[in-house]
Structure 1
Amino acid sequence: MKILIVTAEMQLAQDIRRYLEQEDNLCELTADMNEGRSLIGQFSYDCILLDLSFYGEDGLRLLQDLRRGKGSDRVIVISAKNSLEDKVMALKAGADDYLSKPFHLAELSARFEAVTRSRFLKAATHIVFQQLKIDTASRAVYIADRDICLTKTEYELLLFLIINKGNVIAKNTIAEHLNGQSAIHPESYDIIYEHIKNLKRKLVSEGYRIKSVYGSGYKFIACV
C-alpha cells in the first residue's frame, strides 16, 4: 500500500513509517497541511493517515475536501481526543475510521488493511478463502458448497475477520466495526463475546477457527 501520513508529531510518524514499511508498505510523511493538500492533489494514495490533534478545523476541511474531490482515497483519522462528539464529527466529515491515541501500531496496521480492502470488496461479488465462500450480493456463506446459516451480525463479523485474515484484530476494533459509536459502552463487549462464541461454534466443525489471542483480540485461521 502507498500511505500518506499527515501529522506534526514527527516521532510518531517515523515510528509508524518504520513499522508499516516492514510490512512492505510505502509511506510518505508531511507535517505541513498545505503540503499535504498538494501531495494529495498530485498523487494517488491507498490510504491517508490524518492527525487532527494539530490541525483542528483545517484538518476537518481537508477531510471534507477529500470527500468532495478524490473520493476513492481512504482516510484514517488519529487524534488525542477520545470523545464521542469528536469521533462523530470526523466520521461525518468523511473519515473511514477513527483511532484515538495512544494506540498499538499492530492495530493501526490492521485498520489500514481493513479500510483499503473495503474499497475492493464493494465491487466484489464473491470472497473466497480456501473452501469458504461469501456471496456479498446475497449475503450467503458456503463452506465446500454447504450453506452456513448465520445471523446478520455473525455475517458482518465473519466478513470483517476474513478481510483481515492472518491479523490479530483487537476487540475494540471489532466492536467499533459492528456497533459504531455505541462501542464506547462497556456492555457492547459482552454482545461481541456472544457473537464470537456463536460464530466459533458454527465454524469449528467446518474446519475454521476464530483464535483468541490473550490480551490482544481475535484471529481467523483454518484448523490444522
Structure 2
Amino acid sequence: MKVLAVEDSREIAVSIRDFLSREGYICELAYGFEEAREKLALFTYDCILLDIMLPDGNGLELLKFIKKEQIQSSVLILSAKDALDDKISGLEGGADDYITKPFHLPELHARLRAIYRRNRLAGSNMVSFNEITLNTDTLEATVNDIVLDITRKEFELLLYLVVNKNRVLSRQSIAAHLWGDYTDNLANFDFVYQHIKNLRKKISAANGADYIATVYGLGYKFNATSA
C-alpha cells in the first residue's frame, strides 16, 4: 500500500513513516497544505492520513480538493481528542474513518488495513482471479493451489495488477506505487520489466495462464478479458 501522511508535526510524521515502512508500506510525507496538494496533483496514493490543523491551511479544505478532483484515495483523518465537529465534518465530507490523537501506531495500521480491504478488496483479505489467489494478510500467492515462491515486491506487483485488471499501468506508475515517488526522476524503469519477467515465469511454472500483457510504449495490463 502507498500512503501519504499529511501531518505538520515532523516528529509524528516521521514516526508514522518509519513504522509503516517497517510494515512494508511506501509512505510519503507532506508537512503542510500546499505541499500535500502538490503531491496529490503529481502522484497517486492508496490512502491519505490527513491532519486537520495544518500551518498553511485546513485539512478539511484539502479533503474538499481531493473530492473535487476525484482523487481515488481513501482518507483517514488524524483528529484532536476534543475535535468532534472536525470528525463529523470530515466523515460528512467523504473521509473513510478517523483516529484520535494520541494514537498507537499498531491501531493506525489496523485502521489502514481495514479501509484498504473495504474500499479496494471488497472487505476481504483474499483476492482471487481464476486460478490465482492472493492473501493480503499472509502475503501468500497461490496458482492452481501451488504456493508461489515470490518476493514481497512481486506479491505487491501481482496484487496491483489484479486489482487494476484490464487497465493499462505505465512502468512509471508501477514503479511509483511499489518503490515510492523518488523513482519519478529515474532515467529508465528496467527493474519493472525484470520483476514482471520473474512474475510471469513463476506463474507459468505453476501452470498458470499468462494474463500480464505488455502494452508497447505504455506499460502492462492484467488482461482479464482474454481469460
**TM-score between the two structures when normalised by the length of structure 2:** 0.52
Partner of 2:89: 89
SS in 2 for 1:94: coil
CA contact (8 A) 1:5 1:49 kept: yes
Q: Distance in 2 between matches of 1:57 and 1:88?
A: 19
Partner of 2:23: 23
Partner of 1:60: 60
Q: Please state how far the C-alpha of 1:32 moved relative to its aligned partner.
A: 2.2
Q: In the alignment, residue 31 of structure 2 is paired with which amino acid? A: A
Partner of 1:76: 76
Structure 2 unmatched runs, 5+:
127-134, 139-227
CA contact (8 A) 1:77 1:97 kept: yes
Identify which of structures 1 and 2 has the higher relative contact order when contacts are C-alpha pairs closer than 8 Å and 6+ apart.
Answer: 2
Q: Distance in 1 between matches of 2:120 and 2:30?
A: 27
Partner of 2:37: 37
Q: How does 1:197-216 map to 2 (within 5 A)?
A: none
Does the C-alpha gap of structure 1 residues 66 and 128 become closer, same or farther in structure 2, counting only changes over 3 Å? closer
Does the C-alpha gap of structure 1 residues 61 and 6 become closer, same or farther in structure 2, counting only changes over 3 Å? same
Partner of 2:166: none
Does the C-alpha gap of structure 1 residues 57 and 93 become closer, same or farther in structure 2, counting only changes over 3 Å? farther
Q: In the alignment, residue 101 of structure 1 is paired with which amino acid? A: K
Q: Please state how far the C-alpha of 1:116 moved relative to its aligned partner.
A: 1.3
Partner of 2:213: none
Q: In the alignment, residue 113 of structure 1 is paired with which amino acid? A: R
Matched, 1:13 2:8: no
Matched, 1:49 2:49: yes
SS in 2 for 1:72: coil
Q: In the alignment, residue 36 of structure 2 is paired with which amino acid? A: G
CA contact (8 A) 1:2 1:26 kept: yes
Partner of 2:3: 3
Q: Distance in 2 between matches of 1:113 and 1:56?
A: 30
Q: Please state how far the C-alpha of 1:61 moved relative to its aligned partner.
A: 1.2
Q: Distance in 2 between matches of 1:56 and 1:106?
A: 29
Partner of 1:111: 111
Structure 1 unmatched runs, 5+:
130-162, 167-224
**CA deviation vs aligned residue, 1:26-72 (integer Å, no higher than 9, x gap):** 11111121111010011110111111133596311110121122342
Does the C-alpha gap of structure 1 residues 79 and 118 become closer, same or farther in structure 2, counting only changes over 3 Å? same
**CA deviation vs aligned residue, 1:111-152 (integer Å, no higher than 9, x gap):** 111111112234x8xx586xxxxxxxxxxxxxxxxxxxxxxx
Q: Distance in 2 between matches of 1:83 and 1:55?
A: 17
Q: Please state how far the C-alpha of 1:14 moved relative to its aligned partner.
A: 0.7
* Backbone CA RMSD of aligned residues: 2.7
Q: Distance in 1 between matches of 2:100 and 2:41?
A: 27
How many residues of Structure 1 are paired with residues of Structure 2 in the alignment?
131
CA contact (8 A) 2:33 2:57 kept: no
Q: Distance in 2 between matches of 1:66 and 1:56?
A: 17
